[in-house]
Structure 1
Amino acid sequence: MLTEPEAREQLEEILDQQEYQVYYADTRNTLQIWWDEFKAWLADLLSRLFPSMENTSGTAGNIMILVIILVIVILGAFVITYLAKNNPFGRNKKNKPFQSGVELEWSFQQHVNEAKKFEEVGDFSLATRHLFLGLLLNFHERQWLEAKIWKTNWEYYDELRREQKELAQFFFDFALLFDRATYGKQKIEKDDYLSFRDIALKWLNDAQQEI
């Protein structure tokens, strides 16, 4: 019969064998180890801040999950807000080019003449506005769209896509410049204005030749 020291030594030899050690091996990956350590740290912190709270990693893990969800929701709201503010389609859907009935009653030539006046004094923001409105009214006269004070640039763009597909993209890009000048209160530079003016005047000259 084995003595107690001999029995203890034999038991230790058995437990040292590989088939027993595998039960004690840490099979967690790096992320799992980090997560468990973080939960333990958070549980300890919570127990210090709130002594009455049960000090368990499960409680800490649940709180951490809620915090992560909250962060994701906040970031999602921020991204959606940012995209809404910087999405040109969104701006065009709500912005109406005609701010008064008077602007709608002017002829397209009156707007073009007004654009030339502002161009001469270097106010390319207002020149952009009037040239765009003149072009819009010209398209109305040519029955490519129907100008209404309540309509938005997006609605005009949608009409042009049906009537004049080759012109729709230019109109859309010009509408973005118009939005920057009118609603964004941005100063339009000369080069930006001239790049659209030349194409717009070409369409207007073509219209006069048709008459």
Structure 2
Amino acid sequence: MLNEKQVRDELEQILSENEYRVYYDESQNIVQLILNKIGEWLSELFSNLLSAMNPTGGLANFVLFLMGLGVVGLILFALFLWGRNAKVRRALQTHQPLQKSEMDWSYHRHLNEAQQLEDSQEFQLATRHLFLALLLYLHDLERLEARLWKTNIDYYEELQKSNQYEAEQFYRLALRFDEATYGEKAVRRQDYLTYKEQAMDLLARGE
């Protein structure tokens, strides 16, 4: 029977072999590898900065703590923005803004409907018709091709091919349209007037 020393020696030999190291490296998932790289980079960055500053031991630890806190905060903020944008894109990919009956309307008719709804203080529905007026107007200008099966992400990607400014403005308006139409977010008068101003600005630029 093998004694404890022999078992330990054999285990150390197995762990030192290349085959085991390759298996171990491959078993690490991509998140672990990225975190390791970030950790190494931060460690090197802090080391270089502290060496240049040459502070006392206590001050060095304090500065290192503050810098680490700042970097972690930036990483968390970046992850938050990435998560929010991913959520927004998923939302814009879910709904088709045009219904069959609305597709038959001209953009002028949607604009008139939006104005009537605004006068009636129905800002949520007014937002919808204002956005559809913009969508059909861009269709008439052949900036995009309006179809019942398309989502706002489809339209955004079409606009990106011809005019980046229009695409970005459309994207912002589409987000607020989705919030008002599908998110059931209440639209106040001032919110609507701001939305209307931005939509009309985009309409005017198309002329």
TM-score normalised according to structure 1 size: 0.56
What are the equivalent positions in structure 2 for 1:32-181 lying under 5 Å apart? Answer: 83=83, 87-98=87-98, 100-181=99-180
Q: CA separation in 1, counterparts of 2:109 and 2:120? A: 17
Q: Structure 2: how far apart are the matches of 1:114 and 1:128?
A: 10
Identity %: 39
The amino acid across from 2:137 in the alignment is N
Query: AA paired with 1:88?
Result: V
Normalised to the residue count of structure 2, the TM-score between the two structures is 0.57
Which is greater in Rg?
A: 1
**Letter of the 2:169 counterpart:** F
1:89 alignment partner AA: R
Moved more, 135-144 or 185-194: 185-194
Distance 1:110 1:142 in 2: 17
Following TM superposition, the consecutive aligned residue runs of length 4 or more in structure 1 with deviations greater than 6 angstroms are none
Structure 2 residue identity aligned to 1:197? K
5+ residue gaps in structure 1?
1-82
Q: 1:202 to 1:178 in 2, by over 3 A?
A: same
- Give the C-alpha shift of residue 158 in structure 1: 0.5
Unaligned runs of at least 5 residues, structure 2 = 1-82
Report the Cα offset of residue 153 of structure 1.
0.4
Amino acid at match of 2:87: N
CA distance in 1, matches of 2:104, 2:158: 21
The one-letter code sitting in structure 2 at the alignment partner of 1:204 is L
